[in-house]
Amino acid sequence: MKMFPFAHLLALIVGGIILFMLKRKYPKISILELIIISILYVILVSLFTAPAQDFFRKLIGLIQLQ
């Protein structure tokens, strides 16, 4: 994963731009809703990082019965 930090940062930046555009198009969206959406988006992007994938592999390995 040579592009590890750059791909995730790019996804976060693009997501932020999209949220900003949505706020301009739909002014009734509150700031609190945008903050909640941003937090959920950051969590979603962080699930696809290598440390999170390793954590879930270890967790599944512990759960499996042998």
Inter-residue contact 11 to 45 (CB < 8 Å)? yes
pLDDT of the residue at 47: 87
- pTM beyond 0.85: the answer is no
Residue 1 is assigned to a structural domain of this protein: no
Length reported for the chain: 66
Average pLDDT across the chain, whole number:
88
Q: Look up the domain containing 25 and give its range.
A: 9-63
25-41 residue pLDDT tens: 999 999 999 999 999 99
Inform me whether the pLDDT recorded for 18 exceeds 90.
yes
44 domain residue, yes or no: yes
Please give the average per-residue pLDDT across 44-59, as a whole number.
87
Tokens of 30: 């509150």
Asked, for residue 3, whether it belongs to a domain, the answer is: no
Q: Specify the pLDDT at position 2.
A: 61
Helix 4-25 / helix 31-46 crossing angle, nearest 10 deg: 160
